[in-house]
Amino acid sequence: NYKGTKIECQATDNQLTEFNCQITLQNGYTLTKTTSP
């Protein structure tokens, strides 16, 4: 259940080849994920 979940993604470079995403769950737990599109 992702209700109340906040996801923020920010590019780590100008070429937009890598994104650093921070996921904040409703219970306050934080996940950090680095993704490549």
The whole-number pLDDT of residue 2 equals 64
Report the predicted TM-score, pTM, of the whole model to 2 decimal places.
0.62
Torsion, CA 9, CA 12, CA 18, CA 23, rounded to 10: -30
Structural contact between residues 21 and 35, judged by C-beta atoms closer than 8 angstroms? yes
pLDDT tens-digit readout, 1-37? 567 899 999 998 888 888 999 999 988 899 999 888 7
Residue among 25, 24, 22, 5 at smallest CA distance from 34: 22
The residue extents of the domains of the chain are 6-35
| Integer Cα distance of 17 and 6 in angstroms | 22
